Structure 1
Amino acid sequence: MFLLKKILSTLVLPPLGPLLLILAGLILGRRHPRGGRLLAAVGLIVSVVLMTPASVGLLLADLESHPPITDEALGQADAIVILAGGMRSHAPEFGEGTVNARTLERIRYGARLARKSGLPVLVSGGAPQGGTAEAEWMKRSLQEDFGITVRWVEAASLDTRENALLSARILHPEGLRRIALVTHAAHMRRAEAWFKSAGFEVLPAPTAYFTDKHPDDAEDSQPGASGLFLAAAPSMSAAYAGWYAIHEWLGLLAFRLSS
């Protein structure tokens, strides 16, 4: 099932999804020129929309709906749960593998919260590609790079649903149900939904926002014409954020269909 989900998401998500629409349009155009051109145009438009900051921002607006966790909310938690976001299997400078950039953003913020609150930490993430589980790399990095001791390692989950269910098996027997949940801001809605369904009271602790909801309005901070163009033009960073947004909306759809 995990492999099937990965194959389907690869076919639907950019960049392959829009490219397949364009290819289908070119093939269809041999017999039905008008329909083929329309389908190819749709694929092209979708490609541009998903790499343009303004349209990607609209996709992210309802996903990144949680503000940063407050000290008051953090003080109500029983534990901090940090979700894996992937690993880098080839990292010779570290001797083997290590966490990837996405996971590093999460554990860095989780370490900050743990140091501030003194709360125990659970890391969650399996090994989708085999080998060492992502949670094990997270534990190592938290301890060696941030000086944070990890109390629990959930190393069998392959997706957000399993993150929640398997974390519950560890924490619920100890009477721990109120958690500060650390993951990307765009992933928080889906993660919160799964952890609530697993019986947790979730205190969202999002990090790594793609969008800036509180831009500086100071007059001297406004960009010039070149800055405005660069901010509005399609870019690799916007394309990555667009991919992430579509991935999360599909994940929320899957959650609703399964619940």
Structure 2
Amino acid sequence: MSDSLAPYLPYLLALILPPGVFIVLLLVGLRQLRPRRALGIALVLLACTGLWLGSTTGWAWVTQSFVLRVPPALGPLDLDELKTQAKAQAKGEPSVAIVVLGGGVVPRSPDYRLSDLSFIGLQRLRYGLWLARQTGLPVAYSGGLPHGMPASVTPEARVAERIAREEYGITLRWVEDSSRDTRENAGRTAALLRQAGVRKIVLVTHAWHMPRAQRAFAEALGGSGLHIQPAPMGLLLPDTSPLARWTPSLDGLIENRHAWREWLARLLGR
């Protein structure tokens, strides 16, 4: 993406992601009620249906499962296998590593008076460090500054490095702090880990982001033989009551926005 367009991206996304796209559709439908009544009614009904479904966790689960096709979470057997691999490499250079993908940085938190990770970034870091404690594997964090953010801001991976050390007592083995998006995450982290002799990565990111992240890493790795094991987090489970799943909620709106954004990024080849 061109840096000149980056400042306008939030406004563009506000129009094409829920609920913005359906609000625009509703306004268009209302405008058409007088000159084209049937079309206007159809657009209003479509907008209202979209506003409702686009704010439910049930629809977000359907989108993640059947459109994005997110992989399952790591299970006990996966963790046992990773523990065994960690023990095998304990005395030598690591061949297996956990890779946490950045999720955003807060330039200056009003609470801490320091740069901080976004809520998404903190969730990913926490899960990656939990996996490290469970398995004994080393951790890499990938994340620089998003497009359009001033260079004076501390890169995300450096913020994650400080939080991991000071708040969790864990030192990140690798810090990739120059990437600006998922493709750069993949390309620069893959080069870093190949130099270190890593042959397998346990990829940590949110479930809705995992298919695109896997694709980016697969393209970056090419035929290098480096294996990718997805470790998605934040998966939606259809275990709540049907009424709760299909009732609009803030969680439903957020999850649907993420899913739509990932779908659009896939269409655009990002």
How do 1:73-88 residues align onto structure 2 when only pairs under 5 Å count? 73-75=81-83, 76=85, 78-88=96-106
Partner of 1:253: 267
> Which of residues 159, 171, 175 is equivalent to 2:193?
171
8 Å CA contact 1:74–1:203 kept in 2: the answer is no
Q: d(CA) in 2 for partners of 1:49 and 1:78?
A: 41
| Map of 2:233 onto structure 1 | 207
TM normalised by structure 1 equals 0.84
After superposition, the CA RMSD in angstroms is 2.4
The offset of 1:49, in angstroms, is: 1.0
Q: Is the Cα contact below 8 Å between 1:88 and 1:99 reproduced in 2? A: yes
SS in 1 for 2:111: helix
Which residue pairs with 2:90 in the alignment? none
Aligned residues: 244
- Who is 2:171 aligned against? 149
Identity of aligned residues (%): 34
Residues 1:162 and 2:184 are matched in the alignment: yes
Equivalent residue for 2:137?
Answer: 119
Structure with more contact order per residue of length (Cα contacts < 8 Å, sep ≥ 6): 2
Any stretches of 5+ residues in structure 2 without a counterpart?
86-94
The residue matched to 1:93 in structure 2 has which SS? coil
Does the alignment pair 1:32 with 2:36?
Answer: yes
Matches within 5 A, 1:1-259: 1=1, 3=6, 8-62=12-66, 63-68=69-74, 70-75=78-83, 76=85, 78-128=96-146, 129-130=149-150, 131-199=153-221, 200-209=226-235, 211-212=236-237, 215=239, 229-255=243-269
For residues 95 and 147 of structure 1, the distance between their equivalents in structure 2, rounded to whole angstroms, comes to 21
* TM superposition shift of 1:8: 4.2
CA contact (8 A) 1:73 1:203 kept: no
Runs (5+) with no aligned partner, structure 1:
216-222
Give the stretch that moved more between structures: 245-254 or 142-151: 245-254
Deviation track 1:206-249 (CA, whole Å, cap 9, x = no partner) reads 1122x225x4xxxxxxx8xxx76445421111111111121222
Matches of 1:7 and 1:73 in 2, distance apart? 45
What's the TM-score once normalised by structure 2's chain length? Answer: 0.80
Give 1:32 deviation, angstroms. Answer: 2.6
Contact 2:19 2:54 in 1 (8 A): no
Q: Which moved more, 1:114-123 or 1:130-139?
A: 114-123
SS at match of 2:268: helix
Instruction: Specify the SS of the correspondent of 1:94.
Output: coil
What is the CA–CA distance in structure 2 between the aligned matches of 1:208 and 1:137, rounded to whole Å?
A: 22
Q: Secondary structure at the match of 2:55?
A: coil
Q: Deviations for 1:59-79, whole angstroms, at most 9, x for unmatched residues? A: 122433322151244355621
Deviation at 1:252, TM superposition (A): 2.6
Of residues 99-108 and 48-57 in structure 1, the stretch that sits farther from structure 2 once superposed is 48-57
What stretches of structure 1 move > 3 A for 4+ residues in a row?
Answer: 4-10, 27-31, 227-232
